[in-house]
Structure formats: C-alpha cells, structure tokens
Amino acid sequence: MPQLIAFIVVLLIGLYLIIANIRIVPQSQSFVIERLGAYKQSWDTGLHVKVPFIERVASRVSLKERVVDFAPQPVITKDNVTMMIDTVVYFQITDPKLYTYGVESPINAIENLTATTLRNIIGDLELDESLTSRDLINTQMRAILDEATDPWGIKVNRVELKNILPPKDIQDAMEKQMRAERERRESILRAEGQKRSAILIAEGEKASKILEAEAYREATVQKAEGDADAILLVQRARAQGIRLLLENAPESVIISLQGLEAITKMAETPSSKLIIPSDLAGLAGLAASAKEIIKD
C-alpha cells in the first residue's frame, strides 16, 4: 500500500512538472530559452515543452512593430538657434536573441541614439532649412538609426519629427512674416480682381458700342435701300408716263412739257427770276391734254 501511494505521488508530480513546463507561444511573439544560464534557442509560434529545472524562459519578445514617442530634445542649428524637437520612432524586433543580449534597456538606448543623431543632423542645417527639410531629416535619421540598431536585433522602419518648436521670439517673427505674406497675397488677389472687373466692363462697353454701330449701319442700309426703291418707283412711273406720251402725242408736246416742268422748279426757288412766255395759255392747255392722255 505505501508503495502504491508513493507511485501515485510520483506520477502526480511528474504530470505536474510536464504540464507546468508546457508553453504555448502566441502569434507575433518569441520566447528566448536558456539552459543552465546559457542561450539555448528561440521558440516561435506554437506548442513547446522545456526541461524542468534546467531550462527557463529568459525573455518574451513581441515581434510587432512598436511606436515610441520621445520627449522634446533641445538642438542647436547651424545659425545658433536653439529649438525643441520631439521624435517618433517606429521599430520592430527581428532577432529576439540579439534584442535580449545585445544591449541593456534597448528603448533607452534608442532614445539616446535618436537624440545624438538629431543633434548632429540639425547642427549642419540653418533654421529655415530645418523647418523645410523634414523629409530629408527623417530619411537620414532612419538610415543612421537602422544601421546602429542592427546589432541589437532591431529594425527601424520610420522616424518622424513630430514637432519643431523654435524660440518664442523666432515664432513671433515667423508669424509676422506669415501675416505680411498673407496680406500681400490678399492685395494681389484684390488688384487682380479689380483688373479683371475693369477688363470685363471695358469689354462690355466695347460690345455695346459694336452692337449700336451694327444697328445704326443696318438701319442706314435699310433706309438707303428704301430710298433707292422709292426713287426707282418714281423713275419707273416717269418712264411709263413718257412712254405713253410718245405713243399718243408728238415729240413737240413732250418738249413743251419738259420745259413747263423746268419753269415750275425754277419758280420754287426764291432767288430765281421767272420769265413768263407769251404762249403760257397754250402750254397750260397742252399740259392738261397730256394729263388726259396719261390717264387714258
């Protein structure tokens, strides 16, 4: 009986040790295993069993990309302007072994490395270049940090300058300059609007005058055409009358009528002197005969 109890106890202890040393590695994680204090292996995602009392999990490492926002750092530009710049670093652990044994406090090491690298890059740039060259600074910092952190099993994916804060007096000067630039642009836009408005008004007046000239020309043409038609009708009537006279009266009658018309026109002029011929009664009778002929 004591032997059975001892066997059961040993069996239970064995089962406990086996269950206690079973490890399940989640996705995007890696376990660093040590055997008797020395690095043994890195476990990837899945089910693993370690040897009791000999092996232990030295570190649990996340393989996800991490984002670290570092506090603002004072940096001095090439033209001796002190600015406060805070950075955001995106990095990922690629080698759990190097990350565990490569450097003490990797996050603190990355922060210090970021600060020194930023000071070196900004020190070669003037204030205006620092404010307008963020992409260049980000690219240079990412390349330098990625190379420096490679022995630590860390890959730096991106580095971003979150804020660049110049001194207060520099900010005030920049705001004044920006305000002056906006006012200048506003003045230019207002002047361009007035110019455009004046051009549109001038073009409208020009179009109006062109339309008036075309209307006057059209009216003049139509009046001239009407006068020409009237003259043509009068001349046709006169020609018709002469033709009738030629058919029904001798040529002398026509000559006498033309002379009578000439006398009538001369009588209408105030400054003309009119000489009455002796055969005025004959001419009057002749004219009456001619009118009768035209009526017939």
Band of residue 144 on the pLDDT scale cut at 50, 70, 90: very high
Of 295, 231, 293, 287, the C-alpha closest to 259 is: 287
List the structure tokens of 164.
Answer: 């660049």
Residue type, 263: I
Instruction: Compute the distance between CA of residue 79 and CA of residue 90 in angstroms, rounded to an integer.
Output: 30
Per-residue pLDDT at 97: 92
pLDDT of 268 above 70: no
Q: What is the tens place of the pLDDT at every residue in 273-282?
A: 545 555 544 5
Band of residue 96 on the pLDDT scale cut at 50, 70, 90: very high
Per-residue pLDDT at 295: 46
Instruction: Compute the distance between CA of residue 255 and CA of residue 294 in angstroms, rounded to an integer.
Output: 16
Average pLDDT, the chain: 80
pLDDT of 293 above 50: no
% the chain with pLDDT above 70 = 81
Residue type, 39: Y
Paired with 74 in beta bridges are 84
Q: What is the tens place of the pLDDT at every residue in 73-95?
A: 888 888 888 888 889 999 999 99
Instruction: Compute the distance between CA of residue 51 and CA of residue 32 in angstroms, rounded to an integer.
Output: 14
Instruction: Compute the distance between CA of residue 87 and CA of residue 171 in angstroms, rounded to an integer.
Output: 20
pLDDT of 290 above 50: no
pLDDT of 247 above 80: no
Instruction: Compute the distance between CA of residue 155 and CA of residue 148 in angstroms, rounded to an integer.
Output: 9
pTM of the model: 0.56
Band of residue 249 on the pLDDT scale cut at 50, 70, 90: low
Q: What is the tens place of the pLDDT at every residue in 115-124?
A: 999 999 988 8
